[in-house]
Amino acid sequence: MSIDVNLQHDLKSLRISAEFNIAEPGITALFGPSGSGKTTLVNMIAGLMRPDQGHIQINDHVLFDGARGINVPVRQRRVGCVFQDNRLFPHMTVRDNLFYGARRNPHKLPEDEQQAVLEMLGIATLLDRRPNLLSGGEKQRVTLGRALLANPDMLLLDEPLSALDHARKQEILPYLEWLRDHRSIPILYVTHAIDEVARLADDMVVIDQGKTLATGSVFDMLGRTDLPPLAGRFDAGTVLRARIVSRDPKAEVSFLECGGQRLVVPYLGRPKNPVIRLHIRARDVMIARTPPHDISANNIIPVTITKISDEPGDAIDVTMCFGQDADAALLADTSGRPKIHARITKWSGSRLKLHLHQKVFAVIKSVTVNGQLRDQ
């Protein structure tokens, strides 16, 4: 399943000129600050707004082509949409809301798959209620179910969690993770929340002032310091894959293995599959020339400096790969070694006399590591 988007559109205060391709199923985060044009792009892909120029194509199905005069109507696009305001019909029951689009779709899901969607989202017991009797999290689950039951070729999720408080967000996130890992459907996830990107996304499209700045794997993109929406208003950081090797419920910690190193993080429970995705902000990583002793930080990782980015301002960004053997710096880009990023003051970098290929230690407090279970 491939999605090809190349669009130009003039708004009163912004010119949209965005181009990206989604080659595989999974979640692609469309990330950028408020006002960067993300929702406008979603509206054009969904067919709610006509672009001035460009094209939108899902596999061999052309949804829009300005040069050829093609503009497929909304109902024929097979694009499921979930917005931050759930847009449920207040006069209908949950059941009628859920199947509103499916009834008009000739490509219906089989009944067993329909039931699987209801059970997966935990909404089978809500069918006879009206939307005004649902919590915010329940409303978003119903909205997501409505989109899935229409059997779309693609899902557009436009800031689906932004109207929810922290508890309701935590309620919805596991369902989005399940979609990413179990449904073979491309999902474009619009957000300006970097923690949601780190937890959910496989790939990332960075947009600012209407223009596509960069695209790529989330594991690479979150470490880049040359992108204004990431390095300026938001934090660069690291997303790592790790595996749970043991747990200590009494001490409320879990022990992980990543790149041959042990990491200690807050307790993660007992998942069926012990694969973990870690998000570590660059500003939460300290650098030491020698391994520190008698400190509260549990994670002291031997690393080798592979890049030092001296950007304008009072900070530098240091990229390090796991390991301190003689070839670590040379093999960093080809050996699959995990990398970690640190943001420190220029004064600290000068005081430590940091330089390329230097063997140092990355120091990380356990409580700063955001670990999310991933079933894969």
pLDDT at residue 87, rounded to an integer: 84
CATH 3.40.50.300 residue window(s) in the chain = 3-228
Query: Would you say 340 and 287 are in contact if contact means Cβ atoms under 8 Å apart?
Result: no
Per-residue pLDDT 10s for the chain (376 aa) are 678 999 999 998 899 999 998 877 789 999 888 888 999 999 999 999 999 999 999 888 999 999 999 999 998 888 888 888 878 999 999 999 998 877 777 777 888 888 888 888 889 899 999 999 998 888 988 998 898 888 888 889 998 888 778 887 887 888 888 888 777 788 899 988 888 888 889 899 999 889 998 999 888 888 777 775 554 445 678 889 899 998 888 888 999 999 899 999 988 876 655 788 888 989 999 999 999 999 999 999 999 999 998 777 788 989 999 998 755 445 444 357 899 999 999 999 999 999 999 999 999 999 888 776 544 3
pLDDT at residue 332, rounded to an integer: 44
Which amino acid, 122?
Answer: G
Residues in the chain: 376
Q: How many CB atoms lie within 10 A of CB 173?
A: 16
pLDDT at residue 126, rounded to an integer: 92
In sequence order, what DSSP letters do the residues of 77-110 get, joined into one string?
S-EEEEESS----TTS-HHHHHTTTGGG-SSPPP
Rounded Cα distance, 31 and 38, in Å: 8
Structure tokens that stand for 11 in this block: 């708004």
Q: Edge-to-edge strand order for the sheet containing 339-345?
A: 285-288, 359-364, 299-309, 315-322, 339-345
pLDDT at residue 334, rounded to an integer: 38
Q: How many CB atoms lie within 10 A of CB 242?
A: 24
Rounded Cα distance, 50 and 66, in Å: 9
Q: The tokens 């407090």 sit on which residue? A: 365
pLDDT at residue 44, rounded to an integer: 95
3-228 topology per CATH: Rossmann fold (3.40.50)
User: pTM for this structure?
Assistant: 0.82
261-266 and 211-217: which strand pairing? Answer: unpaired
CATH 2.40.50.100 residue window(s) in the chain = 239-373
Query: Would you say 168 and 137 are in contact if contact means Cβ atoms under 8 Å apart?
Result: yes
Assess if CATH 2.40.50.100 describes domain 239-373: yes
Rounded Cα distance, 45 and 39, in Å: 10
Cα-based torsion angle of the residue sequence 258, 263, 268, 274 in order, rounded to the nearest 10 degrees: 20
pLDDT at residue 1, rounded to an integer: 65
